[in-house]
Structure 1
């Protein structure tokens, strides 16, 4: 799946994956991680999610990574931020406002020099086809130190019934990707909860919430 796929989705405003409210599982489970003021959280493939506002209100440093400039501009405009400071390096254009940075560029170019206390993933792993997930998991592993925690939300459904994204990412896949370097805890399994128009077309699907802790 090429970057142009997602850039076109934003340009054409085909963003059924975006939510106008905070994700209820973020509110329910992130406090279990016992975040402390000033710690850092990474939000991969962040779009313009309002979940970043909630994380900021937890007094965290929030770093979103996103391909689409339109998504980034929309986030700052729709949430009434002052114009962010813009800087650039060889891989990313960074938009900074106080404790928030959104970096425009290729998520896979994050390196181990970037370290975070937490990662929040509502719609990143499930947006990636199978062949891209190992690379994604390697980035996740590299940017979390021992004890770092990863709040992950996935979907399980019959992939033959719908062409992703969002893709089916079942428990076996989560363990394949992460069990070598993480303790994996399944927190909750829900069936057929409302989660975007595409999943609503399915007769049956599951949403799962995991907390992964770096070994």
Structure 2
């Protein structure tokens, strides 16, 4: 990987897109793919794909393209998906429940290992073979299970407190579905998934 040039967030966000399509190709028995083929399928410039991958190494062969299985292995390594990554989810309401059920489709190395909620009616219920735990157990669970990623699906008014607890327990990255801006210390990464803002931005493009 190049260490003298900063890798942009846009590049990192495209890698899982490449990985998903490569996995489809491998499942269909395709052994090699060119950047042109990838570009047509993903509606991206082939030169951009080659540039993205070149940040991390020389994975293709001129006139042949990329070995699909080899490139999957390399992208998984770049994204650190070749090691176990434990995830916890805080907020087991309707959205949290849906995400927990989606857990079955995540890569085996990156899985939701624990669920938490503050509602007495939700605590103790089972979702996709996981029992919802009370919030009081979150810090201890994060530490004992060496959790590195947290998902927040609580109301916006509770998001900062939950984020603080996760970070203090040792979580290094947070995916927040809460409608609120979260402030965390340097070294902790926060990504937001906001359905409302995504829909509102789509409205701009309507005729």
Q: State TM-score, norm by structure 1.
A: 0.39
Structure ranking higher on relative contact order (CA contacts 8 Å, 6+ apart): 1
Q: State TM-score, norm by structure 2.
A: 0.40
Q: Of the two, which has the highest radius of gyration?
A: 2
Structure with the larger strand share: 1
